[in-house]
Chain A
Amino acid sequence: MAPGPTESGKPPTDEIVHRRGGGHTGLYVVVAIVVVLAVILSGAYATGYLKFASKSTSSCSGPASSVVPANSGQPAPAAPSPAFHPESGQTVSGAGSTLVQPLMATWETAYTNNTLYYSGVGSTAGINDILGKTVDFGASDAPMNPTQRSLITTPGGIDTIPESAGAAVPIYNLPTVGQTLKFTGAVLAGIYLGDITNWNNSLLQVANPGVVLPNACIIVVHRSDGSGTTFVFTSFLSKENATWNQTRGFSTQPTVFPIGIGAKGNGAVTTTVKSTPYAIGYVDINYALSNGVAFGAVQNPKGNFILASLTNIASAINDSNVKFPAANGDWYNVSVLNAPGAQDYPMATLTYVLVYANLTAADVGTSPTYITHAVGEALVDVLKWMVNETEGQSYSAAAYYVPLPAWVVASDMATIGSIAKTIPP
């Protein structure tokens, strides 16, 4: 490999250090790769597959470089740990909606007759779980759709029981804007379609006169998991914007969103928006309030811009005059969106617990037994406790949830009473 010493006594000339003949294979390979890449690239640009870009002259030129420090994390002041309740009685397990998860967490500690376990895995996963009988109750903000209902094999079906209420609110992170922004449904749809790309877009400016909107690109955030909150939000968008209704539709699955960053769970959407300047997202109101994230007012059918609050969500539920179908019937069209009242918040939603209507029938063919007598009693007890005004519902307001109106409670109690009759012996 290395050439031998020179014959004469002269010091080796420079060229001897370089190889004679051969040995340039590596160089050839590199040159070949570079040439091939150059050919491919120029072909791509020539055919328009890749495009040269000109310096962006659109108004959406990117955010300014001043950044809100993400979560600078002062240590939380010490507080007594919530009483992690000692195990008692039977264990009742549920899973589903993240919208109701913080309330369920409060209920887990407050309800002491039995042990309540809840996992916030997303509404769709919750429905899958109750269909698969891996949990005692499922939870979802979106009622079961026809396809999911067709998968029910147990006689009597699954009951849909509203146990709380909330609303989807548009959260945003605008470091330079102190006022509360106003959004119309059309604007929200435009943002999530990718038609409105800059915060200082004229449509936004028109809705917010007097507010200095920054010249920054809107960073869209949505859910990446099957979500009832997505269902509520996209249902609203479908009602408000014809393009959205025709090209995207509404669903729990995130594929309705053509652009944007995906985050798993209401908490992750809140986190992403909170740490990304110029971002916008949609979460349940309790996440916005408990994390101190700004959210905007939304225009209702009467043309008023309503900033969501527990009061105007409750009035929306009452004013919407919704008629509940039979407990085990099809709730897919039950909606409290765009309630008619002047001060009603347009994106209110009920959130539902899903339980088998006939517990004995549900046990057929399951091994080990799906709901035993003891678990059945505990399940009925938990459900009654949840919807009761003086018990479960009394924790709602402090957790930023809307307590159920009395007529909903009455309907629920009737349903739960019917379920109680089917507890296996």
Chain B
Amino acid sequence: MSLGLHTRRRLFSHTMTLLSGLAVVVILVPLVAVIYEAAVQGSSAFSWTFLTQRPPIACTPHLGVSCALGGVYTPFEGTLILVGLASLVAIPIGIGAAIFTVEYAKERRIARVISTTADVLSGLPSILAGVFVFSLMFQYDKPLVYSTIAGSLALSVLMIPIVVRTCEEALRTVPESVREAALALGIPRWKIATRIVLVAALPGVVTGAMLSVARAAGESAPILLTIGDGCFHPLEGVTQQGCALALWIFIGATNNAYQNWDRLAWGAALLLILIILAISLTSRFSLNRLVRRMKGGP
């Protein structure tokens, strides 16, 4: 029997709707799976000492030998220092470049060049940032090849494009009339840029900064190449080898035969996910305020 054309078309359409809905479900399966795994495995590592103790000697319980669980203090401290240093470099540069593009370069070609450069840089594979910093240090400052400073430099290379793009977008949402009015009142350009436009666009700028921080906290490839092997000793200084949560996850994952390292790696993974979630949610909250303000709200 042949279905009528109408029925066939409707059936086909319903099938396609079903398939595309299925696609959404299939896409969300890994997300749920990863978060579930991290939550279940990682939460068993959470304890009062999780953040205060250093990573332990690798060990698997056997033959009456019990293992210390230790904690992720060193990786956590390392991530804070890394991301902090990287932010110190990347955020001012990024905001500065964005202000220059929007306030000074305006519609001139240089503005588009800077924008495109930032866009292109945001597609840089993260490992290449590590290779870049490594070869830089190798050429010019050998002792710093494996150091926290090298790691932060690599992270800032990845952060700068994000900051530039998001801040630029945020600054552009401020209507030109505001600037013109301020100019007409004789306010100097730098005050306009900082006291008026930047303040108006602040939620977007903050969002951009926080997004870049979230990205930097999760990066492991560039750190793998530049930070060395400092996870098992107290961090000595930014010119010495360091550690990071993302690196610790890699070490624990590839050596997961050791139960205590395996547990700590999942704990670190859960911690990292929670940190990134927190940053993303807060930045989204900030962005919503910007949108509401644009639409005339508080």
Contacts and interface: CB of A to CB of B under 8 A. Distances in A.
What are the nearest 9 A-B pairs in CB distance? A271-B257, A267-B255, A79-B66, A119-B229, A268-B254, A81-B68, A76-B67, A105-B57, A77-B66
Nearest to B71: A81
B62 A290 contact: yes
A2 interface: no
Interface string B224-253: 000011001110000001000000000000
A267 B53 contact: no
8 contacts: A73-B259, A78-B69, A119-B241, A267-B58, A267-B254, A267-B257, A271-B254, A291-B62
B165 interface: no
A95 B68 contact: no
Given A121-B229, A270-B257, A271-B257, A291 B5 contact: no
Given A78-B66, A290-B59, A290-B60, A117 B254 contact: no
Nearest to B145: A134
B143 A134 contact: yes
Main secondary structure of the interface of B (DSSP, over half): loop
B67 A263 contact: no
A210 interface: no
A275 interface: yes
B41 A102 contact: no
Interface of B: 5-6, 9, 41, 44, 49, 53-54, 56-62, 65-70, 142-143, 146, 228-229, 232-234, 241, 254-260, 262-263
Given A105-B57, A121-B229, A134-B143, A291 B258 contact: yes
A76 B259 contact: yes
Nearest to A274: B257
Name the residue in B49, B62, B229, B255 with the highest tally of chain A Cβ atoms < 10 Å from its Cβ: B255
A95 B229 contact: yes
B70 A81 contact: yes
Contact of B256 (A14, A105, A271): A271
Interface string A88-109: 0000000100000010011001
Contacts of A391: none
B194 to A, nearest CB: 43
Nearest to B41: A73
A365 interface: no
Contact of B262 (A73, A78, A102, A117): A73
A74 B262 CA distance: 11
B254 A263 contact: yes
Contact of A76 (B57, B232, B263): B263
B57 A102 contact: yes
A76 B142 CA distance: 42
B151 to A, nearest CB: 16
A119 B256 CA distance: 18
Interface string A122-150: 00000000001010000000000000000
A82 B62 contact: no
Given A102-B58, A291-B60, A79 B67 contact: yes
Contacts of B5: 14
B68 A265 contact: no
Nearest to A15: B5
A74 B62 CA distance: 12
Contacts, number: 94
Chain A contact-residue range equals 35 or more
Contacts of A121: 229
A79 B60 CA distance: 12
Given A75-B263, A265-B255, 16 more contacts: A14-B6, A73-B262, A75-B44, A76-B59, A102-B58, A105-B58, A109-B57, A117-B232, A119-B228, A119-B232, A121-B229, A264-B254, A267-B257, A270-B257, A271-B255, A290-B62
A134 B232 CA distance: 18
B92 to A, nearest CB: 31
Contacts of A84: 54
Interface in A235-288: 263-265, 267-268, 270-271, 274-275
A71 B54 CA distance: 23
A79 B5 CA distance: 73
A71 B232 CA distance: 24
A239 to B, nearest CB: 30
Name the residue in B59, B142, B260 with the highest tally of chain A Cβ atoms < 10 Å from its Cβ: B59
A80 interface: yes
Name the residue in B41, B233, B262 with the highest tally of chain A Cβ atoms < 10 Å from its Cβ: B233
Contact of A71 (B6, B9, B259): B259
A292 interface: yes
A222 to B, nearest CB: 14
Given A14-B5, A102-B58, A79 B68 contact: yes
Contacts of B256: 71, 271, 275
Given A75-B263, A87-B234, A291 B257 contact: yes
Contacts of A267: 58, 254-255, 257-258
A267 B228 CA distance: 18
Contact of B257 (A78, A134, A275): A275
B260 A76 contact: yes
Contacts of A117: 232-233
Contacts of B228: 119
Contacts of B260: 76
Contacts of B67: 76-77, 79
B62 to A, nearest CB: 5
Contacts of A82: 56-57, 68
A77 B259 CA distance: 11
A219 to B, nearest CB: 16
A80 to B, nearest CB: 7
B41 to A, nearest CB: 7
Contacts of B70: 81
B115 to A, nearest CB: 31
Contacts of A132: 142
Contacts of A106: 57
A291 B257 CA distance: 7
Nearest to B229: A119
Contacts of A109: 57
B269 to A, nearest CB: 14
A134 B142 CA distance: 9
A73 B256 CA distance: 10
A121 B227 CA distance: 13
A80 B56 CA distance: 11
A76 B229 CA distance: 25
